[in-house]
Amino acid sequence: MGSPLANAIEVRDVVKFYGTVPALRGLSFEVPEGGRYALLGPNGAGKSTTLRLLVGLMKPDRGEVRVLGRDPADDYSVKAQMGYLPEDATPYLALTVRENLEYIAALRGLDDPRDRAEKMMDLLGLRKYENYRVSALSRGNVQKLAIALAIIHEPKVVFLDEPLNYLDIPTQEEVIGVLSRMGSTMLVSTHIMSVAGRLTDHILMISGGRLVWQGTFDDLRRMAKEEEPVESVVARLMRSVEA
Protein backbone atom coordinates (compact mmCIF):
# COMPACT_ATOMS: atom_id res chain seq x y z
CA MET A 1 0.00 0.00 0.00
CA GLY A 2 1.57 3.27 -1.16
CA SER A 3 5.08 3.84 -2.51
CA PRO A 4 8.14 3.65 -0.25
CA LEU A 5 8.30 7.44 -0.27
CA ALA A 6 4.66 7.94 0.76
CA ASN A 7 3.93 9.81 3.96
CA ALA A 8 2.68 7.60 6.78
CA ILE A 9 1.48 10.62 8.78
CA GLU A 10 0.13 13.93 7.50
CA VAL A 11 -1.11 16.86 9.56
CA ARG A 12 -2.37 19.80 7.49
CA ASP A 13 -3.30 23.24 8.90
CA VAL A 14 -4.87 21.70 11.97
CA VAL A 15 -6.72 23.89 14.45
CA LYS A 16 -8.11 22.40 17.67
CA PHE A 17 -9.82 24.12 20.60
CA TYR A 18 -10.91 22.75 23.96
CA GLY A 19 -13.90 25.02 24.51
CA THR A 20 -12.30 28.43 24.12
CA VAL A 21 -8.74 27.19 24.84
CA PRO A 22 -6.69 26.92 21.63
CA ALA A 23 -4.51 23.77 21.69
CA LEU A 24 -3.39 23.72 18.03
CA ARG A 25 -3.29 26.82 15.82
CA GLY A 26 -2.53 25.76 12.26
CA LEU A 27 -0.17 22.83 12.80
CA SER A 28 1.29 21.12 9.71
CA PHE A 29 3.91 18.39 9.32
CA GLU A 30 4.53 15.06 7.61
CA VAL A 31 6.31 11.86 8.60
CA PRO A 32 7.48 9.57 5.77
CA GLU A 33 6.95 5.80 5.96
CA GLY A 34 9.57 4.31 8.24
CA GLY A 35 10.45 7.74 9.70
CA ARG A 36 11.24 8.05 13.42
CA TYR A 37 10.19 11.54 14.45
CA ALA A 38 9.98 13.31 17.79
CA LEU A 39 7.28 15.82 18.64
CA LEU A 40 9.29 18.01 20.99
CA GLY A 41 7.86 20.96 22.88
CA PRO A 42 7.25 22.50 26.29
CA ASN A 43 4.30 21.66 28.55
CA GLY A 44 1.04 22.70 26.94
CA ALA A 45 2.56 22.95 23.42
CA GLY A 46 -0.11 20.64 21.98
CA LYS A 47 1.82 17.36 21.72
CA SER A 48 -0.74 15.07 23.37
CA THR A 49 -3.57 16.76 21.45
CA THR A 50 -1.74 16.05 18.19
CA LEU A 51 -1.42 12.36 19.08
CA ARG A 52 -5.07 12.13 20.14
CA LEU A 53 -6.10 13.55 16.74
CA LEU A 54 -3.78 11.18 14.89
CA VAL A 55 -5.20 8.08 16.58
CA GLY A 56 -8.73 9.27 15.83
CA LEU A 57 -9.90 9.94 19.40
CA MET A 58 -10.91 13.47 18.36
CA LYS A 59 -11.44 15.37 15.12
CA PRO A 60 -9.75 18.64 14.22
CA ASP A 61 -11.90 21.80 14.20
CA ARG A 62 -10.12 22.77 10.98
CA GLY A 63 -7.57 21.09 8.73
CA GLU A 64 -6.94 17.39 8.21
CA VAL A 65 -5.00 14.49 9.64
CA ARG A 66 -4.14 11.35 7.69
CA VAL A 67 -2.49 8.10 8.77
CA LEU A 68 -1.46 5.77 5.94
CA GLY A 69 -3.52 8.02 3.69
CA ARG A 70 -6.75 7.63 5.68
CA ASP A 71 -8.71 9.64 8.20
CA PRO A 72 -8.17 7.88 11.55
CA ALA A 73 -11.40 9.25 13.05
CA ASP A 74 -13.53 7.70 10.31
CA ASP A 75 -11.64 4.64 9.15
CA TYR A 76 -11.46 1.72 11.57
CA SER A 77 -9.26 -0.37 9.28
CA VAL A 78 -6.39 2.06 9.76
CA LYS A 79 -6.67 1.78 13.55
CA ALA A 80 -5.72 -1.90 13.22
CA GLN A 81 -2.38 -0.78 11.82
CA MET A 82 -1.66 1.75 14.55
CA GLY A 83 -0.25 1.41 18.06
CA TYR A 84 -0.82 4.10 20.69
CA LEU A 85 0.73 4.62 24.09
CA PRO A 86 -1.17 7.45 25.82
CA GLU A 87 0.54 9.49 28.53
CA ASP A 88 0.13 7.69 31.89
CA ALA A 89 -1.48 4.67 30.21
CA THR A 90 -3.17 2.24 32.58
CA PRO A 91 -3.80 -1.36 31.51
CA TYR A 92 -6.69 -3.31 33.11
CA LEU A 93 -5.92 -3.09 36.84
CA ALA A 94 -7.76 -6.25 37.91
CA LEU A 95 -6.09 -8.45 35.29
CA THR A 96 -2.62 -9.94 35.51
CA VAL A 97 0.21 -9.03 33.15
CA ARG A 98 -0.38 -12.20 31.13
CA GLU A 99 -4.16 -11.71 31.07
CA ASN A 100 -3.78 -8.12 29.81
CA LEU A 101 -1.47 -9.23 27.02
CA GLU A 102 -3.61 -12.20 25.96
CA TYR A 103 -6.80 -10.14 26.11
CA ILE A 104 -5.48 -7.30 23.96
CA ALA A 105 -3.87 -9.77 21.53
CA ALA A 106 -7.26 -11.50 21.19
CA LEU A 107 -9.11 -8.18 20.74
CA ARG A 108 -6.59 -7.24 18.05
CA GLY A 109 -7.52 -10.47 16.25
CA LEU A 110 -4.02 -11.96 16.43
CA ASP A 111 -3.69 -15.64 15.55
CA ASP A 112 -2.15 -16.90 18.76
CA PRO A 113 -2.70 -14.58 21.73
CA ARG A 114 -0.85 -16.90 24.10
CA ASP A 115 2.29 -17.02 21.97
CA ARG A 116 2.17 -13.29 21.45
CA ALA A 117 1.86 -12.68 25.20
CA GLU A 118 4.88 -14.93 25.83
CA LYS A 119 6.90 -13.06 23.22
CA MET A 120 6.09 -9.64 24.66
CA MET A 121 6.87 -10.74 28.23
CA ASP A 122 10.28 -11.99 27.12
CA LEU A 123 10.95 -8.94 24.98
CA LEU A 124 10.22 -6.48 27.78
CA GLY A 125 11.44 -8.44 30.79
CA LEU A 126 7.97 -8.95 32.25
CA ARG A 127 8.14 -12.72 32.63
CA LYS A 128 8.68 -12.70 36.39
CA TYR A 129 5.57 -10.57 36.86
CA GLU A 130 3.30 -12.58 34.58
CA ASN A 131 0.87 -13.50 37.36
CA TYR A 132 0.90 -10.12 39.10
CA ARG A 133 -2.22 -8.03 38.82
CA VAL A 134 -1.51 -4.60 37.36
CA SER A 135 -2.62 -3.03 40.65
CA ALA A 136 0.35 -4.75 42.35
CA LEU A 137 3.02 -3.68 39.84
CA SER A 138 5.50 -0.83 40.26
CA ARG A 139 4.77 2.25 38.09
CA GLY A 140 7.77 1.41 35.87
CA ASN A 141 6.49 -2.10 35.20
CA VAL A 142 3.00 -0.73 34.45
CA GLN A 143 4.66 1.50 31.86
CA LYS A 144 6.52 -1.46 30.33
CA LEU A 145 3.27 -3.43 30.12
CA ALA A 146 1.52 -0.44 28.51
CA ILE A 147 4.30 -0.28 25.89
CA ALA A 148 3.97 -4.04 25.27
CA LEU A 149 0.20 -3.62 24.75
CA ALA A 150 0.78 -0.75 22.30
CA ILE A 151 3.12 -2.78 20.07
CA ILE A 152 1.81 -6.34 20.54
CA HIS A 153 0.29 -6.41 17.01
CA GLU A 154 3.47 -5.10 15.33
CA PRO A 155 1.75 -1.95 14.10
CA LYS A 156 2.89 -0.09 10.98
CA VAL A 157 2.64 3.28 12.72
CA VAL A 158 3.32 3.82 16.42
CA PHE A 159 2.37 6.87 18.49
CA LEU A 160 4.11 7.08 21.86
CA ASP A 161 3.36 9.81 24.43
CA GLU A 162 6.31 10.22 26.84
CA PRO A 163 7.26 6.51 26.54
CA LEU A 164 10.20 6.55 28.95
CA ASN A 165 8.30 8.11 31.87
CA TYR A 166 8.71 6.19 35.14
CA LEU A 167 11.46 3.90 33.76
CA ASP A 168 14.81 3.60 35.52
CA ILE A 169 17.96 3.96 33.41
CA PRO A 170 18.58 0.24 32.68
CA THR A 171 14.90 -0.23 31.80
CA GLN A 172 14.99 2.83 29.54
CA GLU A 173 17.89 1.21 27.66
CA GLU A 174 15.94 -2.05 27.36
CA VAL A 175 12.85 -0.26 25.99
CA ILE A 176 14.91 1.92 23.62
CA GLY A 177 16.44 -1.32 22.24
CA VAL A 178 13.02 -2.90 21.68
CA LEU A 179 11.54 0.19 19.99
CA SER A 180 14.63 0.80 17.86
CA ARG A 181 14.51 -2.72 16.43
CA MET A 182 10.93 -2.22 15.21
CA GLY A 183 10.58 -1.22 11.56
CA SER A 184 7.49 0.91 12.22
CA THR A 185 6.97 4.57 11.49
CA MET A 186 7.23 6.22 14.89
CA LEU A 187 6.05 9.52 16.33
CA VAL A 188 7.23 10.10 19.89
CA SER A 189 5.91 12.97 21.96
CA THR A 190 8.23 14.26 24.65
CA HIS A 191 9.40 17.44 26.34
CA ILE A 192 12.79 15.85 27.06
CA MET A 193 15.45 16.37 24.42
CA SER A 194 17.51 13.33 25.43
CA VAL A 195 14.46 11.07 25.03
CA ALA A 196 13.94 12.45 21.51
CA GLY A 197 17.63 11.85 20.78
CA ARG A 198 17.61 8.23 21.91
CA LEU A 199 14.47 7.16 20.07
CA THR A 200 14.29 9.26 16.90
CA ASP A 201 16.41 10.97 14.27
CA HIS A 202 14.22 13.91 13.30
CA ILE A 203 12.66 16.62 15.44
CA LEU A 204 9.35 18.43 14.99
CA MET A 205 9.53 21.25 17.48
CA ILE A 206 6.16 22.66 18.50
CA SER A 207 5.22 25.52 20.73
CA GLY A 208 1.89 27.27 21.25
CA GLY A 209 0.16 24.79 18.94
CA ARG A 210 2.38 25.53 15.92
CA LEU A 211 5.41 23.94 14.29
CA VAL A 212 8.33 26.23 15.06
CA TRP A 213 11.26 24.26 13.66
CA GLN A 214 12.04 20.88 12.16
CA GLY A 215 15.20 19.09 11.23
CA THR A 216 17.65 16.38 12.17
CA PHE A 217 19.85 16.20 15.24
CA ASP A 218 22.81 17.02 13.00
CA ASP A 219 21.01 20.20 11.90
CA LEU A 220 20.57 21.11 15.55
CA ARG A 221 24.19 20.37 16.39
CA ARG A 222 25.31 22.56 13.48
CA MET A 223 23.29 25.43 14.97
CA ALA A 224 25.12 25.15 18.29
CA LYS A 225 27.64 27.83 19.14
CA GLU A 226 31.03 26.65 20.39
CA GLU A 227 30.60 24.14 23.26
CA GLU A 228 26.86 24.90 23.42
CA PRO A 229 24.79 21.85 24.40
CA VAL A 230 21.96 20.89 22.03
CA GLU A 231 19.41 21.46 24.82
CA SER A 232 20.39 25.10 24.89
CA VAL A 233 19.92 25.40 21.09
CA VAL A 234 16.41 24.01 21.57
CA ALA A 235 15.70 26.50 24.36
CA ARG A 236 16.98 29.31 22.12
CA LEU A 237 14.67 28.24 19.27
CA MET A 238 11.69 28.07 21.63
CA ARG A 239 12.44 31.50 23.10
CA SER A 240 12.85 33.07 19.67
CA VAL A 241 9.31 31.99 18.85
CA GLU A 242 7.74 33.04 22.14
CA ALA A 243 9.31 36.50 21.88
Q: Is 59 a binder of ligand ATP (CB under 6 A)?
A: no
Is residue 152 exposed (0-12), middle (13-18) or buried (19+ Cβ within 10 Å)? buried
Torsion of CA 136, 142, 146, 149, to 10 degrees: -40
Give which of 148, 57, 142 is closest to 108, Cα–Cα: 148
Residue choice 23, 145, 175, 237 for contact with ligand ATP (CB under 6 A) = 23
- Give kind and range of the element (H or E) at residue 16: strand 7-18
What is the nearest approach in angstroms of ligand ATP to the Cβ of residue 86? 11
Spatial distance between the Cα atoms of 158 and 82, rounded to a whole number of angstroms: 6
Is residue 122 exposed (0-12), middle (13-18) or buried (19+ Cβ within 10 Å)? exposed
What is the nearest approach in angstroms of ligand ATP to the Cβ of residue 71? 20
The region of 16-24, 74-82, 213-221, 233-241 touching ligand ATP under the rule CB under 6 A is 16-24
Is residue 26 exposed (0-12), middle (13-18) or buried (19+ Cβ within 10 Å)? middle
Q: Which of 97, 158 has the CB closer to ligand ATP?
A: 158
What is the nearest approach in angstroms of ligand ATP to the Cβ of residue 146? 16
Residue choice 48, 174, 197, 241 for contact with ligand ATP (CB under 6 A) = 48
Residue choice 46, 56, 113, 163 for contact with ligand ATP (CB under 6 A) = 46
Residue choice 49, 81, 184, 185 for contact with ligand ATP (CB under 6 A) = 49
- Residue 6 DSSP label: S
From the DSSP assignment, how many helices (H) and strands (E) are in the chain? 9, 9
Q: Which of 7, 50 has the CB closer to ligand ATP?
A: 50
Site string for ligand ATP, 98-137 (x = CB under 6 A): ----------------------------------------
Q: Where are the beta strands (DSSP E) in 68-174?
A: 82-85, 157-161
Stretch 157-216 residues interacting with ligand ATP (CB under 6 A): 191
Q: Is 40 a binder of ligand ATP (CB under 6 A)?
A: no
Binding site for ligand ATP (CB under 6 A): 18, 21, 23, 41, 43-49, 191
